[in-house]
Amino acid sequence: MHPIRLLLLAHLTLLLGAPLLRAEPIPAPLYETRSEHDPNGIGKFFLGREIAHVMGHQAWGWLERPEREEEERTDLLLEALAIQPGQTVADIGAGSGYFSWRMARKVGDEGRVLAVDIQNEMLEMLMRNMAMRRVEKRVKPVLGTITDPKLPPNSCDLMLMVDVYHEFDHPFEMITAMISALKPGGRLVFVEFRLEDPKVPIKLLHRMSEEQVRKEMRLHPALKFLENKSPLPQQHILIFTRQ
Ligand SMILES: C[S@@+](CC[C@H](N)C(=O)[O-])C[C@H]1O[C@@H](n2cnc3c(N)ncnc32)[C@H](O)[C@@H]1O
């Protein structure tokens, strides 16, 4: 076959073989402000959902409460993440580091945990916590902003958000920046208290439905929904991948 024809054929094959990255149209304006709203929210809405207040660092005791493992079965969550030695994992909205040191044990000496938070006080507490657990060399604290986790491009195998996404002030911008920091094939994981379950004893704005998270992620064509793992008593584990 003529070389030009061969080249055209190769291009066509590549085009047809590439995944079709379709997204929902981005709403304009992206966010809506309402004067009447839930006292636990900031009065800013994204696709019909009101964004919750950020949990202040003074409330860290709730994150470290001894009964947390039993209530939330955080052991099952860690198991479900199937973290491998040597991986780079981001703990987005890491807080006091409840999950950072546990993940640091999984990634081992060759791996890294990038612990991102917007509150310096949380990161200081987190690093004290990491030193106490003797994993400080495997964990890097990163001070992010409300729109950007400040992580290197294509660096993460996994990004975990436990009880965090519902309080992102700029969820669309944050997820866009997080996708850039995710390796192709890497996983983006949302752990949110189930809105669908009336028995979950958590404030309304601190819970999310699977449908709402998936609706918001449909604005990002690079993300593909993989599964909702449900071994936990109160929370969804919603897993997306960067295609
Ligand atoms: C409820 S705490 C959860 C902490 C931790 N994930 C855990 O489960 O123990 C939420 C944390 O997310 C942080 N946060 C909120 N918005 C953030 C953002 N845009 N980027 C990074 N961290 C954020 C808060 O500062 C707070 O430390």
49-79 pLDDT per residue, tens: 999 999 999 999 999 999 999 999 999 999 9
pLDDT band at 10 (very low <50, low <70, confident <90, very high): very low
Residue 238 reports pLDDT greater than 70: yes
- 119 close to ligand 1 (CB < 6 Angstrom): yes
Enumerate domains of the chain plus CATH numbers.
21-242 (3.40.50.150)
- How remote is the CA of residue 97 from the centroid of ligand 1, in Å? 10
For ligand 1, say whether the CB of 146 is within 6 Å of any of its atoms.
yes
Q: What is the mean pLDDT of residues 17-30?
A: 74
Mean pLDDT of 117-146: 98
Q: Report which protein residue has its CA nearest ligand 1's atom 19.
A: 146
Say if CB 189 and CB 238 are below 8 A apart: yes
Contact 168, 216 (CB under 8 A): no
| pLDDT band, residue 131 (cuts 50/70/90) | very high
pLDDT at 7 over 70: no
Residue found under tokens 């066509």: 12
Calculate how far, in angstroms, residue 7's C-alpha sits from the geometric centre of ligand 1: 50
User: In Å, how far from its chain's centre is CA 16?
Assistant: 31
192 Cα: distance to centroid of ligand 1 (angstroms): 12
Q: What is the mean pLDDT of residues 142-165?
A: 98
Determine contact, residues 156/88, Cβ cutoff 8 Å. Answer: yes
> pTM for the full model?
0.92
- 220-232: pLDDT as tens digits: 999 999 999 989 9
Phi, psi of 51 (to 5 degrees): -80, 135
Q: Whose CA is nearest to atom 13 of ligand 1?
A: 93
| Average pLDDT of the residues of the chain | 93
98 lines ligand 1 (CB under 6 A): yes
Instruction: Flag whether pLDDT at 2 surpasses 50.
Output: no
Place of tokens 């752990």: 191
Closest Cα to atom 8, ligand 1: which residue? 162
Q: What is the mean pLDDT of residues 123-132?
A: 98
What pLDDT shows up at residue 21? 62
| Residue 52 CB less than 6 A away from ligand 1 | no
